[in-house]
Structure 1
């Protein structure tokens, strides 16, 4: 096991450190052929933890059905050269989502996981794009082992 104390902290997520307003778009149905989206706003604040080998993102989502809080926890494995990302939804505070794992290449981070949605095995993909002035994130699911992907949530971050 490698200690993070003897390794420089990664800078991959430095672009998201700080306070943000966030424009969310969520697909109105998953794996049902939906083509309409619900848009809403939110707030996000991210700070480094674990000596820079992790970060914690605190979110307020102002969904039309009601406001809720959520947290993204990210940690970097020096041994693997990969990040793990967990999601905790304040509406279900006893359950951490299955972590996605991955890395950045030229400002694009791709993170994957195997999960189950309503009893069906799926693949989950997060893509972070830190190449532009406003970072973006999207989530997609696949129910055919990654042959096709359905994007179901998009976020655009603007400095607060």
Structure 2
């Protein structure tokens, strides 16, 4: 787990080191990482994003807010990593976030870090996982307001012009899940 008090610079160094490790691994593997060339190709480019987000998490709420945003994604490190810049137009504020993904050829998994413009002094704990049969599943152990949670990101319904992402939390080791954020992507 990333120390919540670490500086933004050291957090970014960790993220970039993950990407550098992925690049080094892909150079060592003549075929390159099999996932790097195709897993995230669908996300490259500009997107309109429609968000549906629970106002409160892990309290049994059914009160959702909906808002628009945008996303622009591009590959880095020769395809062994990618980054996206997101804009969120919530009812209360507009803010930005950055997603950074890097492939680890040793584990054959992607790690995904999140940097939020409202807390630029830290990166969120990375979720890790893979794509199988066109669905990406990524997990991490973290906490939400002091409660230990398993975090799940899930990418699905992927087409050349659309995709769906959702975030869910589990407080019982994955036996049950509360979906708390859904994003529907359409090409801009």
- Tell me what 1:155 maps to: 183
- Tell me what 1:3 maps to: 25
Q: Which ranges of 4 or more aligned residues in structure 1 deviate by more than 3 Å?
A: 130-133
Write out aligned runs for 1:61-100 (5 A).
Answer: 61-100=88-127
Q: How far has the Cα of 1:4 moved from its partner?
A: 1.6
Return 5+ residue gaps in structure 2 as ranges: 1-20
TM-score normalised to structure 2 length: 0.81
Supply the RMSD in Å over aligned alpha carbons.
1.3
Instruction: Map Cα deviations across residues 62-92 of structure 1 (whole Å, 9 max, x no partner).
Output: 1111100100000011111100000110000
Q: How far has the Cα of 1:146 moved from its partner?
A: 1.0
In structure 1, which of residues 128, 143, 159 is the aligned counterpart of residue 171 of structure 2?
A: 143
**Structure ranking higher in helix proportion:** 2
Return 5+ residue gaps in structure 1 as ranges: none
In 2, Cα distance between equivalents of 1:130 and 1:86: 22
SS class of match (2:162) = coil
Write out aligned runs for 1:14-93 (5 A).
Answer: 14-93=41-120
SS class of match (1:88) = strand
Question: Residues 88 and 123 (structure 1 numbering): CA distance in 2 closer, same or farther, change over 3 Å?
Answer: same
TM-score normalised to structure 1 length: 0.95
